[in-house]
Amino acid sequence: KEIQFRYDNANIKDHEINYYGEKVKQCHRALHDKTGAGNDFLGWVDYPLNYDREEFSRILNAAQKIEKTSDVFIVVGIGGSYAGAKAAIELLGHTFHNIVSKEKRTSPEIYFVGHNLSGTYYNHLMEVLKDKEISLCVISKSGTTTEPAIAFRLLRTYMEQRYGENGAAERIYAITDAKKGALRQLATEKGYETFVIPDDVGGRYSVLTAVGLLPIAVAGIDIKQIMEGAKDAYDLYGVDDLFQNPCYQYAVLRNILYGKGKEIEVLASYEPSLRYVAEWWKQLYGESEGKDGKGIFPASVEFSTDLHSMGQLLQDGRRNIFETVLTIESPREDIVIPEDEQNLDGLNFLAAKSLNQVNHHAFEGTMLAHTDGGVPNLVIGLPEANPYYFGKLIYFFEKACGMSGYLLGVNPFDQPGVEDYKRNMFALLGKPGYESLGKALNERLK
Ligand code: PA5
């Protein structure tokens, strides 16, 4: 079974796709020969084949140690340094991971921090941590990003007070650049165990490195299977023929629809466990393609929940949207609707049907309604939610993103626009070196 890509409800003619055949070959070469824009950041393409096996074993050992010694595992990171791990744990773990009984999850509670600047969030976190044994991993490629750096300072201080400096060092892991950055220096000085984010892998393409793998392994998920899936995806999506490669077809279809004025892509799913896969996907595509005045706006909805809110706009609002439905063909679990003699709710027509069957009809009915309403539908079908297909899906989306960015004519591996807010924030906070900008901004805010 493979990931399916279907576009029969997209209203696109064959010749529109054929036109892209040669261009896809060119972009494929640029990705594999590392000759295109951003070619310093193409390490993720071959990574499933040549990742560091020694480091991989250390990740497994660290995960075991954390599992044995901790009730809680804290992951500090933002953007590409956290979204992929959260996506995996939500998709493959228990729906109520942190509150279900320990037997059901066989791993520590996991909290993601360092992705916001909310005082309330951190005070509440500290309440949760009381009386629990903690381990922590701090993830930052640059080692200087403000949000995780602040969170790490808060939590490091807390852990050093509780465990002493050496005791805390036994429980803290750092994932960062091999040589550069404040975090690398701090980790060396404090004696933390460290893992590397390779130089040529950008944050949002790093989920298959230690960045994603350590937290995912701590959650008790089989990371060997994830890498197997990614390796098979490398072969499967490594062919340059558009007509044999569903991953490139997805990239092409998005560009065709964008060219027709469909500027918003809504990733829709029918399983709540896919919520963070969608968040990760938004980060990957938004940060990779939104530049030079171009880019599809990636949005997401969770059905059927959002059929009662965003469903109206999708069906009937401005026609600048296309929808990509991410389905799980065989969901992990199911439950049957019981017969009720009195039938006061009138639901006996559903008795003996399973919830997944009802959900599937909701999907089919919605897809046809939205297509009829002028929203082209693409479908990506994941055979099952397991570690192997998660690895495959990650690689599918990364490869499609690289291809899609090249087809659009942008560098999908940089993020120059992310710097602007930081500059203003530093200036307003009075960081040394930003004095005159600070003065000008404060003038404007008066
Ligand atoms: O994709 C990216 O490069 C970004 O989203 C980064 O992952 C994010 O800004 C965090 O950066 P860092 O890991 O350097 O703290």
- C-alpha distances out from residue 63 to 73, 208, 220, 333, Å: 10, 16, 8, 27
Please tell me the distance between residue 204's alpha carbon and the centre of ligand 1 in angstroms: 7
Of 68, 104, 353, 422, which is the active-site residue? Answer: 422
Instruction: Say which amino acid occupies 316.
Output: D
pLDDT at 102 over 90: no
Length of the chain: 446
For the question of residue 22 being annotated catalytic, the response is: no
For the question of residue 54 being annotated catalytic, the response is: no
- Among 44, 142, 150, the mutation site with the greatest number of ligand 1 atoms within 8 A of its Cβ is 142
Start-to-end CA distance of the chain, whole Å, equals: 61
Which residue ranges have their beta carbon within 6 Å of ligand 1? 78-81, 140-142, 145, 148, 202-204, 287, 415
* Protein residue whose Cα sits closest to atom 12 of ligand 1: 140
Cα separation, 212 vs 234, in Å, equals 18
Atom nearest to 139 CA in ligand 1? 13
Rounded mean pLDDT of 357-370?
97
Give me the pLDDT at residue 419, please: 84
Rounded mean pLDDT of 408-437?
93
Tokens 């400096």 locate to: 165
* Protein residue whose Cα sits closest to atom 3 of ligand 1: 203
Q: Using an 8 Å Cβ cutoff, are 297 and 264 in contact?
A: yes
Please tell me the distance between residue 301's alpha carbon and the centre of ligand 1 in angstroms: 24
Give me the pLDDT at residue 186, please: 96
Q: Using an 8 Å Cβ cutoff, are 215 and 62 in contact?
A: no
Atom nearest to 418 CA in ligand 1? 9
User: Which stretches does DSSP call E strand in 296-373?
Assistant: 297-302, 321-330
Of 90, 265, 287, 289, which is the active-site residue? Answer: 287
Closest CA to 89 of 69, 63, 70: 63
Q: What's the angle, vertex CA 20, arms to CA 18 and CA 23, rounded to 5? A: 140
Give residue-wise pLDDT tens across range 245-288: 999 999 999 999 999 999 999 999 999 999 999 999 999 999 99
Rounded mean pLDDT of 292-309?
97
Give me the pLDDT at residue 418, please: 87
Please tell me the distance between residue 210's alpha carbon and the centre of ligand 1 in angstroms: 14
Atom nearest to 415 CA in ligand 1? 3
Cα separation, 47 vs 318, in Å, equals 41
Give residue-wise pLDDT tens across range 315-336: 999 999 999 999 999 999 999 9
Q: Using an 8 Å Cβ cutoff, are 75 and 230 in contact?
A: no
Please tell me the distance between residue 311's alpha carbon and the centre of ligand 1 in angstroms: 32
Cα separation, 217 vs 223, in Å, equals 6
Q: What's the angle, vertex CA 218, arms to CA 214 and CA 220, rounded to 5? A: 125
Please tell me the distance between residue 206's alpha carbon and the centre of ligand 1 in angstroms: 10
* Protein residue whose Cα sits closest to atom 5 of ligand 1: 79
Give me the pLDDT at residue 125, please: 97
Cα separation, 371 vs 365, in Å, equals 10
Give me the pLDDT at residue 103, please: 79
Q: Which residues pair with 5 in a beta bridge?
A: 380
Please tell me the distance between residue 280's alpha carbon and the centre of ligand 1 in angstroms: 12
Cα separation, 415 vs 310, in Å, equals 29
CB atoms within 10 A of CB 365: 11
pLDDT at 110 over 80: yes
Q: Using an 8 Å Cβ cutoff, are 41 and 205 in contact?
A: yes
Give residue-wise pLDDT tens across range 210-248: 999 999 999 999 999 999 999 999 999 999 999 999 999
pLDDT at 413 over 90: yes
Chain mean pLDDT for the chain: 97
Judged by DSSP in three states, 383 sits in strand
Give me the pLDDT at residue 185, please: 96
Atom nearest to 79 CA in ligand 1? 5
pLDDT at 138 over 90: yes
Judged by DSSP in three states, 195 sits in strand
